[in-house]
Amino acid sequence: MKKSNSILMIIVIVIIASLIVWKIGIPNLSSKNKEISSEKVSKKVKKESKKIKKKETRESKSSSSTETSSSMESEPSSESSSESTSSVQPSVKYPALQKYAGKTYYAVDRDSAEVPDMFPTSFTITSDTEALNVDGKQELIRNVTSDSGFIALTGEMGHSMGTTLSFEFRSLGGSDSDAVEVLNQGQRLAYSTTMPE
């Protein structure tokens, strides 16, 4: 009798213990399942958003420049001017050339120089200030220095102004960047953004 009672007691304890474990385990399993399913959903959402972003970038690349400018105008106007200038700055390699960039300068009375071939008929500093176009030939700018009021550009390729490009100029009339003076081997020639007649 005692043996059967003790066996019965053990069986009851095992059943109670298994019920307790089952009750505790089920909520944990369901919460794990919820976590796993929520992770899957979040991964799907991320993938979909990436696809949408890729589509938007493709569409924006194919859109016209007018659409780009209108989207830029729709940006919040609460940005400060310092933030907008800092976003423009990285595209300019040499800040000293920024006010001269994107303008074409034409020689003023080039034939009056002692050696006209020492001076190009025109030059343009690209808008990103990375290159100098001299008479239609592009030259990468390797270094920019400012000394005695002149801005000196140096490049690597050979040019009619010397074996390596060494191009010096300064603004005429103070802050006015529409007229400059080019210096080459001691000789000077004025340049203007206005094309000579």
pLDDT band at 164 (very low <50, low <70, confident <90, very high): low
Judge whether residue 69 has pLDDT over 60. Answer: no
pLDDT tens-digit series, residues 9-41: 899 999 998 888 777 766 555 555 556 666 665
Of the candidate ranges 30-34, 133-137, 186-190, the one whose mean pLDDT is the lowest: 30-34
In whole angstroms, what separates CA 74 from the centre of its chain?
20
| In contact, 146 and 109? CB cutoff 8 Å | no
Residues in CB range of 163: below 8 A, 6 or more apart: none
Task: Give the pLDDT of residue 11.
Answer: 92
The Cβ of residue 145 has, within 10 Å, a number of other Cβ atoms equal to 11
Q: What is the dihedral of CA 75, 79, 85, 86, to 10 degrees?
A: -100
The better pLDDT of the pair 86, 26 is held by: 26
Question: 115 by DSSP, 3-state: which?
Answer: coil
